[in-house]
Amino acid sequence: MAAMLSVADALTRVLEHARPLPAEEAPLSDACGRVLAYALKARRTQPPADVSAMDGYAVRSADVATSPVQLKVVGEVAAGRPFARAIGPNEAARIFTGGVIPAGSDTVVIQEDTKRNGDQVEIGVASVKGRHIRVQGLDFKAGETLIAAGRRLTARDLTLAAGMNHPLVPVYRRPKVALFATGDELVPPGAEPGPGQIVSSNAFALAALARGEGATVDDFGIVGDRLDDTIAAVQRARQSGADILVTTGGASVGDHDLVQKAFAAEGMTLSFWRLALRPGRPLMHGRLDGMDVLGLPGNPVSAFVCGFLFLAPLIRRLAGRNDLMPPVESAILGCDLPGNSERADYMRATLKDTPQGPVATPFPIQDSSMMVPLAKADCLVVREPHEPAANAGSPCAIMRLDR
């Protein structure tokens, strides 16, 4: 029997042909978390003129070099309503935050340091030139490159892009994921399972995982154990324009495992289908025209872990990201573990912060069908093939979930 493929080699194959998808212009409301395809330059200068940073009075610094002093109030300057005339000697204009500094004035005295009496204002504190003024271009100038290509846009970046006067930004297209589950034993949530049937759950986790990574998802539901139906589901996925097709169940080589046969009938190029991985050994990957295919195991834990390790990085690559894998961190093992077998093990575990560092404690039963430990897990404890036994308190490697 041929040696099983390692997780690292399998990921290399999954990502081998993956490239960022074509760029598109997206509105700011749909850009957060997406990767900028081209550098973004400012279309305007900010602020576009010298403006007041405070509520107060715009005055000439020569008139307020000493205090107290009485000045005549000759008008008012609100944000968006510039003053029509210049400020002369011994004059002041009431000004509000964001108001354009009137010609002739060169400083702002905040209102707390003044006393108003009709058309006169007493300046109680001496001031100097430029006080409380945001000069033109203080933030940025037109033509400056402010957001580099390849950046994954944050909420803060959207503030900047909007201020630069960009209603649309060039980002890589969202990957399109199609998925379906296979098996006569499956019924949708809310249905009453018949004898030997179970409730289908994998699609909800995988769809949420894909959407969380920025993909759009078409869920084609449950496909029974019939080759024609499985082929028809694959064809629907191709017709939908999916970049990635994810199936769960039926990826092995048993009499009722029809996924590989369906893909072969459609002309898929198989990359691999067995991994040195626990949970998730019967994982399949291939290429069908320009579509990546991931055939995941049917057990819920196996499907999720394989989605976490392979689907998420593939989506990230197509979306233009460089941070493909969650970081492997160091933690303290919370219990004794026996030596590992020939497969890399990704054990569901809780994680607790302590003064000595985070302590990761794998659940005592790691069966790939058990959804409760999966839901309660904070991380995966990563054990390499043939890793020796480890005692509680020793260092271990982890990948955090839900980051």
234: left (phi over 0), alpha (psi -120 to 50) or beta: alpha
Residues 240 and 262 in one domain: yes
- Which CATH number is 94's domain given? 2.170.190.11
Residues 114 and 165 in one domain: no
Residues 202 and 296 in one domain: yes
Residues 17 and 29 in one domain: no
Residues 127 and 212 in one domain: no
- Please say which residue of 84, 114, 134 terminates a domain: 134
Mean pLDDT throughout 173-177? Answer: 98
What is the model's pTM?
Answer: 0.91
Using the predicted structure, report yes or no on whether residue 257 has a pLDDT greater than 70: no
Residues 195 and 231 in one domain: yes
Binning pLDDT at 50, 70 and 90, where does residue 258 land?
confident
Per-residue model confidence (pLDDT) at position 237: 96
Cis, peptide link before residue 338, omega less than 30° from 0: no
Residues 301 and 391 in one domain: no
Residues 296 and 183 in one domain: yes
Residues 55 and 109 in one domain: yes
Give the domain range for residue 344: 329-400
Token couple for 304: 């999720």
Nearest Cα to 347, choosing from 283, 277, 285? Answer: 277
Average pLDDT, the chain: 95
Residues 182 and 71 in one domain: no
Q: What's the rounded Cα separation, in Å, for the pair 28 and 161?
A: 8
Report the greatest alpha carbon distance in the chain: 97
Binning pLDDT at 50, 70 and 90, where does residue 251 land?
low
Binning pLDDT at 50, 70 and 90, where does residue 254 land?
low
Mean pLDDT throughout 212-238? Answer: 96
Residue 314 lies in a domain: yes
Q: What's the rounded Cα separation, in Å, for the pair 317 and 313?
A: 6
Residue 324 lies in a domain: no
Residue 292, C-beta contacts closer than 8 angstroms, at least 6 positions apart: 14, 17, 18, 243, 244, 245, 285, 286, 314
Using the predicted structure, report yes or no on whether residue 255 has a pLDDT greater than 80: no
Inter-residue contact 87 to 104 (CB < 8 Å): yes
**pLDDT, tens digit (0-9, with 9 covering 90-100), for 19-41:** 999 999 999 999 999 999 999 99
Residue 323 lies in a domain: no
Domain count, the chain: 4
**pLDDT, tens digit (0-9, with 9 covering 90-100), for 367-380:** 999 999 999 999 99
- Which CATH number is 243's domain given? 3.40.980.10
Residues 153 and 248 in one domain: no
- Please say which residue of 74, 108, 134 terminates a domain: 134
Residues 56 and 125 in one domain: yes
